[in-house]
Chains A and B, each alone.
Chain A
Amino acid sequence: MSLDKDTVARIARLARLKVPEEELAPLAGELSGILAWIEQLNEVDTANVEPLASVSDVTLPMREDKVTDGGIAEKVLANAPGGAVHIDPTDRNAGGFFTVPKVVE
């Protein structure tokens, strides 16, 4: 499978990665190389083979439906890159918000 520039631009958009126009063609070459190498998997007959999603035989454990943490808004917001807004400056664990650029005009 060979990828063209437009496909690479579409994947970049899906992945939310800004790729400058001049990098699209070299990237298409690289990704096509990797995909071509992966193509060898088609040699293997996998009809009737159940896909293996996880190697752990463990069935997902259930636990009692109760709150086990919370009240740590200050910690949750501590690394906010755009700064955080606390709803109550005197109680920073009372809750708050991450800030993002204006989304709605």
Chain B
Amino acid sequence: MAALTDLTLAELSQAMARKEASAVEVADAHLAKLDEHRALNAFITETPDRARDMARASDARRAQGEAGLLEGVPLAIKDLFCTEGVQTTAGSNILKGFVPPYESTVTANLWKAGAVMVGKSNLDEFAMGSSNMTSHFGGVENPWKRRGDNRKLVPGGSSGGSAAAVAAFMVPGSTGTDTGGSIRQPAAFCGIVGLKPTYGRCSRWGVVAFASSLDQPGPFARTVEDSAILLQAMSGHDPKDSTSAPMPVPDFAAATRNPDVRGLRVGIPGEYRVDGASPEIVTLWERGIEMLKAAGATAVEVSLPHTKYALPAYYIVAPAECSSNLARYDGVRYGLRVPGRDLTEMYENTRAAGFGKEVRRRVMIGTYVLSAGYYDAYYKKAQQIRALIARDFRQAFEKCDVLLTPTAPTAAFAAGERMDDPVTMYLNDMFTIPASMAGLPGISVPAGLDKDGLPLGLQLIGRAFDEETMLKAAAALEKAAAFKGRPAGY
């Protein structure tokens, strides 16, 4: 049998069901990988003791004939999900040492399904970033390197640790959150699958808030089927999140097992052919279209006229919501406190020392656009643009069933590249943000390598609450692309 850490999540479940490996053995094999690749800095907190306890309990359940959907499966949890009794930092100095007295709904669902937590993965501070370089706990290294070039590359962000951990075979799956691309872009950079569900599919309760109208938890895995299995366990209506959709959870994995796309209409949005995307990405996109056509799908040209305005509108909406959400970090009830001469100065000192540069920048942009006299010019305007973006997608989906686009404009870049100007960094999310603004599901599928040997991803976008069609198309694309890339040395 292949090494336990080389198995996909589905294969690992089968191996445990057939008693070829116990959950404890599976946990130990993956914990050994955490040891081996600690230099990647994929984790802020490793939880080996808890992992072994959970694995033992899992083996005991299985011995009783009770096995959940993720029984014994080791997972990395983005350090944005509150985990009871385990430090949860959001990648920020202001939450260093914060130990939540409660468990997020999504992680509670995962444990109920039998999963095992190996640790809390690294991320951009408060999920604000596209490189994982804004983490207070240091950047994460992408397991992939350019051929013949030893420079460290970023894993993307914000869920960079979760993506790197899966790409480096430390875990078969992990959780992320996606506000403007924070699952899909790192999945593309690390050569794995990343799925952002429809807004409302997974509960946000217990997830440290960044931009509440956009934030959505979702899974990372090495196959489309594995991502569907994880999504199934994570999803479900939660009365504790008022935006959680009261919808039944379909059998997502079933949609991936028979990827018959004959007759499926795949929309190709012309507006995604932009300057600034690497020619190799554009070529890969063309190949992806041909692959789906060869599998029996029809390609349909569609128009999303407001695409170019999604990014600047996002950089009003997201900072505005973040400035409100982050107002709670005041040094009074939890987190860091830095003394001052009076209460106000205590707040100011605490927040200046607790938040990193990018977070402070976004809090200030958000405060400005929401301040008296500017609300209509910025926030209201951005919400109007958002309405137009959502309308564009609705009209496109009258002509097609799913959209195919690139995930990110380039492959992974080196740490330090593109750091000088915030707007250049923001452009990383140009292909992922429009779907976020419309609340639609998106998935990134690894589809090829560039000339430097780095993975590139393609994105499929589905109708709201139609992850099944999106997953079916993603499985078909995965099958046709037959991506077998593996970072050297992992």
Contact A79–B333 (Cβ < 8 Å): yes
Instruction: Report the bound CA distance from A7 to B245 in whole Å.
Output: 41
Knowing A18-B349, A34-B365, A63-B239 are in contact, say whether A80-B245 is a contact too (CB < 8 A).
Answer: no
Contact in complex: A8, B390 (CB < 8 Å): no
Min C-beta distance of B66 to chain A, whole Å: 29
- Whether A46 and B422, one on each chain, are in contact in the complex, defined by CB atoms closer than 8 angstroms, is no
Measured between C-beta atoms, what is the minimum distance from A9 to chain B in Å?
11
Encode A35-71 as 1/0 by CB contact (under 8 A) with B.
1011011111010011111111010110100000000
Closest residue on chain B to residue A42 by CB atoms: B381
Cβ–Cβ contact A55 & B199, under 8 A: yes
Secondary structure dominating the interface of B: helix
Contact residue among B327, B332, B368, B438 (Cβ-Cβ distance under 8 Å from A31): B368
Q: How far is the CB of A31 from chain B (nearest CB, A)?
A: 6
Q: Return the chain A residue nearest B212 by Cβ.
A: A54
Contact yes or no, A18 B371, CB < 8 A: no
Cβ of B34 to closest chain A Cβ, rounded Å? 27
The docked-state distance in angstroms from the alpha carbon of A12 to that of B352 is 10
Interface residues on B, range: 35 or more
B86 within 8 A of partner (CB): no
Contact (Cβ within 8 A) B99 A79: yes
Partner of B355, one of A8, A17, A41, A42: A17
Known contacts A31-B368, A38-B315, A81-B336; is A52 also within 8 Å of B101 by CB? no
Once bound together, how far apart are the Cα atoms of A75 and B334, in whole Å? 11
B349 CB to closest chain A CB (Å) equals 6
Decide yes or no whether A72 CB sits under 8 A from chain B.
yes
A16-B330, A52-B383 are known contacts. Are A61 and B242 too (CB-CB below 8 A)? yes
Query: Would you list 13 pairs from A and B whose C-beta atoms are within 8 A, ordered by A residue?
Result: A14-B371, A33-B422, A34-B361, A37-B315, A38-B378, A40-B308, A44-B385, A46-B381, A46-B385, A58-B242, A61-B246, A79-B333, A81-B332
Give the 6 A-B CB pairs with smallest separation, nearest first.
Answer: A55-B439, A51-B383, A79-B334, A75-B101, A81-B337, A46-B384
Contacts beyond the supplied A55-B213, A55-B390, A61-B242: 20 A-B pairs with Cβ under 8 Å: A15-B363, A16-B348, A18-B352, A27-B361, A33-B422, A37-B312, A38-B378, A52-B384, A53-B213, A54-B213, A55-B438, A75-B102, A76-B101, A79-B101, A79-B333, A80-B333, A100-B346, A101-B339, A101-B340, A103-B342
